[in-house]
Structure 1
Amino acid sequence: MNDLQQMIDYLHAGSLEEAMKIYNELKRIGTDEEKYEAAEALFSLGFQEKSIELYEDLIELYPEETELTVLKAEAHAELDQIEEAMELLETITDSSEFYARAMLLSADLYHMQGLHEVSEQKLLKAYEADKSEEVIQFALAEFYIQQGRFLEAIRFYKMLSEQEIAGVIISKRLGECYSAGGSFEEALSYYEEALEHERDAETLFQYGFTAYQAGHNLTAAEVFEELIELDPDYHSAYKLLAHSYEHEEELSKALEAAEKGVKHDPFNKELFLTAGKLSLKTANEEKAESFLRQAIAIDPDYLEAALILNKVLLKQEKPDECLDIIQTVRESGEDDPQFLWDAAKAYELREDFSLASEEYKKAYVVYNDHSDFLEDYGNFLLEEGRHKDALDIYVKLSEKDPTNEEWQMNIEHLRQE
């Protein structure tokens, strides 16, 4: 066994002291080839400081060998010694056969610092130096997809001949690009190709989501069902599965999906809201109320859930509970003009007509052009015996829809008084 292999074995075994003894000997009397191989081995094992020492020795002997400078820069970069790495890379000219590699590393360093324009320039210089190198094409494609420049990303992904590079499935990336750009049909074919390569949860979700966006609801549902079977804790799939079935009017399946979802993700307010809405669509107000209350319990200022729940409670003639919901949401710091209308109807149901009148007045400021509100308000005023005010409201309604016979009859009746 040679000294280099012995050093590597010691390092793998954690015998650092013995390894460093051999390292020191190699550094002192080793051949240039041994030092080069030792530097590479030390770099790969995480001993970049030691690899830098060896590269410095070799650069002193072979200053024209720009590969050594690039390798030393890579070691500094691994140690987060960015300035040292960049200084070395700036010395590499475009006449060097390692210029493209230097520009690649330089691009990565600038990207890490958030200097994306400079990073792009370095990548393009690398590409100009070696247009056939797939590592560079892939780096450009990855850069552009991260920047949201999907057409440019597509251009470089399509140059690649390999289906997988650095653990990335290229057809999946193309699917992402086309989907992000709104070309859902084209994206689907790439996702199908990616799934032939690996049927993993993330790709299934992206494929299902793209099918959903393209309006292929049954395909989306099939994919989300497969995904949930593969990974029941992939919570994002349940809501989309429910909506996929809902769009196909498969309401019982949609509700079943939402109910499964809340069991696996009991703190997802949106899933509870979806389950609540679907319960209403299937005429199960009791279930709807339960789901909507749980959504509000998770997030007391969840306006959408509160507004829908209030409609249910008012329909069920539960005014006190409706007013409790309004108070809960308002105490959390949220509010909505609809609460004025809801409160007015709740007080009216509770026969607290004075408070109902106050809320109707406040709501009128907002809903003075809303036919449903005006009808509620007009009926309330009529019941309260405030005929002049009621007449004004019915006249306003009649102007919006002169064909409504009930409003016309109320106007005639009130004018005759």
Structure 2
Amino acid sequence: MERLKQAVSLIESGNFEKGLEELKEVRKEADHEGLYDLSNIYYSLGLIEDSRDVVEELLIHYPNEGELLVQAAECYVDLEQEQDAIAALNKIDANDAAYPPALLLLADLYQTEGLEEVAEQKLLEAKGISPDEPIIDFGLGEFYLTQGHHLKAVPYYESVLGTKGELANENIELRLAEALSGSGQFEEALTFYEKGLENGREINALFGYGFTALQIGEYRKAINAFNELKDLDPQYSTLYPYLARAYEEEGATDEAIQTLAQGIKVDEFNEELYLQASRLSYKTHDNTSGEQYLRELLAINPTHIEAAKTLATFLRTEERYEDIIDLLNNIEEGDQNDPYLDWSAATAYAQVEEYKDAIKRYENAYTYFKNDPIFLEEYGLFLIEEGRREEAINAFKLALKLDPTLVHLEEEILRFGEERFNEE
């Protein structure tokens, strides 16, 4: 239709308003074929409501035409009229050539609504009808990948490698790499990540590449990938703990600590960064920084048990018993109970001579540590101070049974046993 071509030409040359006016005039006089073309033009221009109106006009005359119903559904999806889209697609007859594309679109809609089983059923039905159609295999791969079923996604992506046409602009290698990595096939995944990244440096793919390299000990490749990602997007906070780990594995502990410090500036609420930074600081004998990172983490999350346990252990080695008590009083507001914290608290209370609190904590810890000879020896010594010699002797005997090298406890058992006999 010549007038339709002229209208499109006006729009393409920048005369948008005049071109749209011409399209309105075309609509008044166009036959059904012309209206179909007009709907496609409106859609390509992003004028979805106009496209929908024209399609709906055609559907009055051809209510069961599958191609029109698919086109209408695509308009409804763009206009967030999902239920209208589903209704239109469900009208298409199973023998219609448009039925397989309709199934793919239905699968997307059902998946969006959280009906994953229905979505999968639609995709597999389309696969049964058109077993060699690449777009269907790709759809199945995408579905399983988004569902976290990586192993299921692999063969579908493999079947469409090198496919042209509709999939020419899809980076299949990167999708396959993600599926392989997610299913634990790291070496194969690394190969496809490298091929896919040659086609485009996607930030999520760079993260996946670095993560995969890390899993198989390719630490230098992981470092390079994560650093490239950091240069492209410094706010990609997930990369920092993994980059730090790769540096640590390479023996570059200072770089690992610096990376974690950078990560904390980007994401101050990422608890893993503080834990990792603290651990590495202690590892390099920077106890001040190690303690500071733990205290910063506990300021963010006062109920973080692992941070509290680590800090309490450090304070205990430094015999800072008042600090242990202050720490535990602050972090236990949420009724957090942990046997390691009970043991640390018991030791601290005993050292500052708050014996009632100490015995309560020792008794709490005993249930968990009754097979730990180090705990039993400490507990026994405390029981002796409390005058509970029989319980102390039992604790020493159990400790000696668990660890026969604690021969000094034999003397304690004999000594306190004789004292008890003499008292009797």
**For 1:78 and 1:290, how far apart are their aligned partners in 2?**
51
Change (3 A) 1:92 1:325: same
Residue 173 of structure 1: aligned partner:
175
Q: Mapping of 1:334-349 within 5 angstroms? A: 334-349=336-351
> 3-state SS of the aligned residue for 1:158?
helix
CA distance in 2 between partners of 1:339 and 1:204 (Å): 41
Rounded Cα–Cα distance in structure 1 between residues aligned with 2:31 and 2:355: 100
User: Normalising by structure 1, what TM-score?
Assistant: 0.87
Aligned-partner residue type, residue 136 of structure 2: I
Give, in whole Å, the separation in 1 of the partners of 2:321 and 2:299. 19
For 1:380, the equivalent position in structure 2 comes to: 382
Runs of 5+ consecutive residues of structure 1 not aligned to the other structure: none
Distance apart, 1:186 and its partner CA: 1.8
What are the within-5 Å matches in structure 2 for residues 49-68 of structure 1? 49-59=49-59, 66-68=66-68
Q: Counterpart in 1 of 2:262?
A: 260
Aligned partners of 1:86 and 1:354: how far apart in 2? Answer: 69
Distance in 2, matches of 1:245 and 1:314, equals 30
The residue that corresponds to 2:294 in the other structure is 292
Give the superposition deviation at 1:102: 2.5
Q: Which residue of 1 aligns with 2:113?
A: 113
Q: Which amino acid aligns with 2:127?
A: Y
Q: CA deviation at 1:298?
A: 1.2
Contact 1:211 1:220 in 2 (8 A): yes
Amino acid at match of 2:139: A
Structure 1 position 155 matched with structure 2 position 176: no
Task: Output the CA distance in 2 between the equivalents of 1:53 and 1:220.
Answer: 53
The answer (yes or no) to whether the contact 1:99–1:129 under 8 Å persists in 2 is no
For 1:207, which of 206, 209, 227 is the aligned residue?
A: 209
Pairing 1:293-312 to 2, within 5 Å after superposition: 293-312=295-314
- Partner of residue 37, structure 1: 37
1:396 aligns with 2:393: no
Q: Given the superposition, is the C-alpha separation of residues 281 and 382 from structure 1 closer, same or farther in structure 2, using an over 3 Å criterion?
A: farther
2:7 maps to 1:6: yes
Shift, 1:57, TM fit: 4.4
More displaced stretch, 352-361 vs 154-163: 352-361
Could you tell me which residue of structure 1 aligns to residue 197 of structure 2?
Answer: 195
CA distance in 1, matches of 2:373, 2:45: 75
Q: 1:67 to 1:336 in 2, by over 3 A?
A: same
SS of alignment partner, residue 199 of structure 1: coil
Partner of residue 271 from structure 2, selected from 260, 269, 272: 269
Q: Distance in 2 between matches of 1:118 and 1:355?
A: 59
* Displacement of 1:324: 1.1
Shift of 1:326: 0.5
- Superposed CA deviations along residues 241-270 of structure 1, whole A, max 9, x for unmatched, are 222333455434433332332233333222
Task: Tell me what 2:226 maps to.
Answer: 224
CA contact (8 A) 1:27 1:35 kept: yes
Distance 1:384 1:61 in 2: 97
Q: Which amino acid aligns with 1:327?
A: N
Q: Distance in 1 between matches of 2:259 and 2:60?
A: 68
Mean Cα displacement is larger for which, 41-50 or 132-141? 41-50
8 Å CA contact 1:4–1:34 kept in 2: the answer is no
Q: Structure 2 CA distance, aligned partners of 1:320 and 1:167?
A: 64
Matched residues in 2 for 1:302 and 1:329: separation?
A: 8
1-structure distance, mates of 2:380, 2:217: 43
Q: Flag the 1:333–1:197 CA change in 2: closer, same or farther, 3 A.
A: farther
Deviations 1:285-339, CA, capped at 9 Å, x for gaps:
2221111111101111111101111111122222121111111111144332322
Q: Distance in 1 between matches of 2:200 and 2:233?
A: 15
Q: Could you tell me how far 1:281 is from its partner in structure 2?
A: 1.6
Per the alignment, in what secondary structure is the counterpart of residue 412 of structure 1? helix
SS in 1 for 2:336: coil
**Residue number in structure 2 paired with 1:182:** 184
Contact 2:400 2:407 in 1 (8 A): no
Distance 2:386 2:19 in 1: 97
Question: In structure 2, how many angstroms separate the alpha carbons of the residues matched to 1:405 and 1:310?
Answer: 29
How does the TM-score come out when normalised to structure 2?
0.85
Distance in 2 between residues matched to 1:233 and 1:174, nearest whole Å = 26
Distance 1:412 1:93, change over 3 A: same
User: In the alignment, is the contact (CA less than 8 A) between 2:171 and 2:196 conserved in 1?
Assistant: yes
Distance 1:179 1:300, change over 3 A: same
Shift of 1:179: 1.6
1:368 paired residue number: 370
**CA distance 1:10–1:188, change in 2 (3 Å):** closer
Query: How far apart, in 1, do the equivalents of 2:234 and 2:76 lie?
Result: 44
**Can you list the C-alpha shifts for 1:123-145, whole angstroms capped at 9, x where unaligned?**
23333443343222211211122
Q: Equivalents in 2 of 1:51, 1:260: separation in Å?
A: 50
Which residue is 1:98 aligned to?
Answer: 98
Task: Provide, for residues 140-189 of structure 1, a one-character-per-residue CA deviation record: whole Å limited to 9, x for no partner.
Answer: 21112223333332121112124894864211111111122122222221
Give aligned pairs, total: 415
Verify the 8 A CA contact 1:4 1:38 in the aligned structure 2: no
In structure 2, the partner of 1:135 is 135
Deviations 1:173-226 (A, max 9, x none): 111111221222222212122222223332121111122233444443343333
Please name the residue that 2:282 is paired with: 280
C-alpha distance in structure 1 between counterparts of 2:363 and 2:4, whole Å: 93
Residues 292 and 305, structure 1, Cα contact 8 Å, conserved in 2: yes
- Preserved contact between residue 110 and residue 118 of structure 1 (Cα < 8 Å): yes
Deviates more, 1:157-166 or 1:346-355: 157-166
